[in-house]
Structure 1
Amino acid sequence: MKRASCRAAFTLVELLVVITIIGILIALLLPAVQAAREAARMLQCQNNLKQISLAALDHEHIHGWLPTGGWGNCFVGDPNSGFGPLQPGGFFYNCLPYMEQQALHDLALGTARGSPQYGQLSMQMVQTPLVMLTCPSRRPPALHPVQYGQQGGRMAALYGGYVPQAWFAADYAANAGSVINTWFPPPSSWSDAANPNSSGWLSKADLKLVNGIVTQRSQIRMADITDGASNTYLVGEKYICPDHYFTGLDGGDDQSAYHGDSDDQCRWTGQDTATTIATNPPLPDTPGMLNSYIFGSAHPSGFNMALCDGSVHKMNYSIDPETHRRLGNRKDGMAIDGKKF
């Protein structure tokens, strides 16, 4: 009788050793893979800001001033109203033609304010996502619920009875300076907005304090940036509470990307007043914390900012708060140490 031939095989111990080694390799490689993915997302975010900043600079070259801040919440961009103080839409709406989005900008062109057609087309616009206005580390370019509160009736009156249930919000915000001066409520109607003395407009005293790049009905020229384009923020990532990325319940993320002046479209680097100076440092998105005035991001290593010369920089959350405050002020004449950012 022939003896059965022996076959080589793994013992149970050897199999467990192999599985353990594979597990260790995966554990070692996973952080590297995640880091590589975040690096790619960071690069995409920086590219978004590069395109936005170039669009804003093209706007300044053509019209003579950087994109205006618009009128306020409840008002969205109007293609029939030009690019100056008569334009109710804010910074990002006014950048659209220079971001290859002329068709989106012009959706309601030729329609009468307050008419059903005007309202329908305007609401179609606010429900249009743009990848360029979305940070890939935070969320996809999608719609999120509209939380109207008392604004629903006002928007219905302004836009022919049309009020959307969801719209697209941007992950970026323009630099409004170091003096927090967003104005609420804005004009209550189209006729109120036509009144130069409307209580919905910033006062002359408030406007004198504006030291950023954008505010309500702004027309900031490059010549107004006396601190230098390379020393002044233009636009960057805004802080959003991660609990509310998709809820519309963050007060600085509850308007569409195409609305006018508000803390959705603008952020501040300080909390200055006419007589005091106070910093307003950036933060990483933090669960449980709401703050609609600061810059920040979903990136763990820092937040991205574009300067008025079109350059984009990754800033550390540990940036000197005073340096950050000064970078928001276009005209304070204070020197900025480039090594601090």
Structure 2
Amino acid sequence: MNSTPHFSIVPRSPGLSTSQRAMKSNPPSTIRHPKFAFTLVELLVVITIIGILIALLLPAVQAAREAARQVQCKNNLKQFALAALNHEQVTGHLPSGGWGPMWGGDPDMGFDPKKQPGGFIFNCLPFMEQQALHDLGLNNNRAGRSRTAAMPISMLNCPSRRPAILYPFVAHGQQTPINYDLSTINNLVGRTDYAGNCGDNAQVMQYNASPPFNTSCGIPNGTCAGMAWTPQYWAGLSNGADAATGVIYLHSWLTLSQITDGTSYTYLLGEKYLNPDSYYNGADGADDQEWNMGIDYDIVRWTGVSQGWSLGPAPPYQDQEGMTMWWNFGSAHSNGCMMALCDGSVQLIAYTIDPYVHKNLGNRKDGQTIDGKKF
């Protein structure tokens, strides 16, 4: 028997390449690979998660922004307080409250409260790097004095409340300025969110005394020669300083040594309360005029008001829509009101402060001992 193996040769299929023959002998798999994609439910879940994360993150972002605004507000008051203290060092007295709401700052009248009709903000200008603005009305330049009023100053506005822009001059009670004409600037003026401490007795009003009068012409000094100083009579007292308990009031001429309760325990200035409905339109009678005016609700506030026959506290409030208060300090901040003390420091005063502690901080000479931990 022949054991030689027999081999059969398979003829090559004509017309097929090597790769084609391999595919023919090994046909491709019929298994389908799945395509990855979100279902509608999965997409909704992702969107929900993103929404929750944004909702959690947004308050944190807003809180961070408000914290930054509060830092800026505090710095505004710090610089303002330092300007007032520098004023005291140079002139020998703190900036005066001025003559009243019908008067604006006049650079020709210097810093003497007997002569200068403008309020404490105007008097602080040279000490807050605003000498050029202060001097616009030099040489009896009435138009220049008007332009001063029409200049917003960023340091005078709290960034949590409103920007430093021009606002309408409304002048409830026809209190238009005597020594310049706002019609030349379209009755648009800068405003302030900060007010001086006028004391704890709002019965001692700026309207209980008039500007210094010269009997020869019957009109306030500054418009006629002489500049004679006429003593003021407030609430039946012979001297305004006897009745006024704050540090910035009508014709104030106060030194730091007269703050007998201590500069660290007496307010100098702070944020004023405003109705948010009136931030921009001037409808609030205590926020309707220019920042460089003489003393008025626009530029001073109190820590105490008359309650019948007695004097009660006027605590600080957070700005509230629909509620107007002309006397109080207050703020747009949710956690308190920024107040500068007469030592130049700035404190955040909580709205929950003991009202009588707040009242006493507005009085420079009541002799009350105040625990520093209470404010």
Same fold (TM over 0.5): yes
Identify which of 150, 158, 162 aligns with 2:179.
158
Q: Say if 1:220 and 1:285 are closer, same or farther in 2 by CA, change over 3 A.
A: same
Q: Deviations over 1:124-159 (max 9, x none)?
A: 11110111000000001011111134536x53x532
Mapping for residues 305-316 of structure 1, pairs under 5 Å: 305-316=339-350
Q: Say if 1:72 and 1:43 are closer, same or farther in 2 by CA, change over 3 A.
A: same
Residue equivalent to 1:139: 162
Instruction: State the one-letter code of the partner of 1:96.
Output: L
Q: Say if 1:67 and 1:33 are closer, same or farther in 2 by CA, change over 3 A.
A: same
Identify which of 196, 199, 218 aligns with 1:177.
199
Q: Are 2:67 and 1:46 equivalent residues in the alignment?
A: no
Residue equivalent to 1:212: 246
Mapping for residues 235-254 of structure 1, pairs under 5 Å: 235-254=269-288
Q: Distance in 2 between matches of 1:148 and 1:225?
A: 33
Contact 1:187/1:201 (<8 A) preserved: no
Instruction: State the one-letter code of the partner of 1:122.
Output: R
Q: Distance in 1 between matches of 2:31 and 2:147?
A: 82
Q: Say if 1:201 and 1:277 are closer, same or farther in 2 by CA, change over 3 A.
A: closer
Q: Distance in 2 between matches of 1:107 and 1:322?
A: 43
Residue equivalent to 2:318: 284
Q: Deviations over 1:153-209 (max 9, x none)?
A: x53x53268454211110000101111123238559995112755999886355421
Residue equivalent to 2:54: 26
Q: Distance in 2 between matches of 1:15 and 1:162?
A: 61
Instruction: State the one-letter code of the partner of 1:71.
Output: W
Deviation at 1:304, TM superposition (A): 0.3
Residue equivalent to 2:126: 97
Q: Say if 1:200 and 1:339 are closer, same or farther in 2 by CA, change over 3 A.
A: closer
Q: Are 2:262 and 1:228 equivalent residues in the alignment?
A: yes
Q: Say if 1:41 and 1:108 are closer, same or farther in 2 by CA, change over 3 A.
A: same
Q: Are 2:351 and 1:317 equivalent residues in the alignment?
A: yes
Range with bigger deviation, 31-40 or 198-207: 198-207
Larger Rg over CA atoms: 2
Deviation at 1:4, TM superposition (A): 6.2
Q: Distance in 2 between matches of 1:218 and 1:97?
A: 19
Q: Say if 1:35 and 1:316 are closer, same or farther in 2 by CA, change over 3 A.
A: same
Contact 2:233/2:239 (<8 A) preserved: no
Instruction: State the one-letter code of the partner of 1:7.
Output: K
Residue equivalent to 1:77: 105
SS at match of 1:80: helix
Q: Distance in 2 between matches of 1:299 and 1:217?
A: 32
- Percent pairwise identity: 49
Residue equivalent to 1:193: 220
Q: Distance in 1 between matches of 2:212 and 2:174?
A: 10
Instruction: State the one-letter code of the partner of 2:116.
Output: Q
SS at match of 1:170: coil
Q: Say if 1:55 and 1:161 are closer, same or farther in 2 by CA, change over 3 A.
A: closer
Q: Distance in 1 between matches of 2:73 and 2:353?
A: 19
Contact 2:146/2:182 (<8 A) preserved: no
Q: Are 2:190 and 1:168 equivalent residues in the alignment?
A: yes
Q: Distance in 1 between matches of 2:266 and 2:334?
A: 24
Gaps of 5+ in 1: 112-117
Q: Deviations over 1:22-60 (max 9, x none)?
A: 000000001111111110001100000000000000000
Residue equivalent to 2:85: 57
SS at match of 1:277: strand
Contact 1:182/1:263 (<8 A) preserved: no
Q: Deviations over 1:306-329 (max 9, x none)?
A: 000000000100100100000000
Deviation at 1:5, TM superposition (A): 4.7
Deviation at 1:282, TM superposition (A): 1.0
SS at match of 1:235: strand
Q: Distance in 1 between matches of 2:286 and 2:256?
A: 27
Residue equivalent to 1:126: 149
Q: Over aligned residues, Cα RMSD in angstroms?
A: 2.4
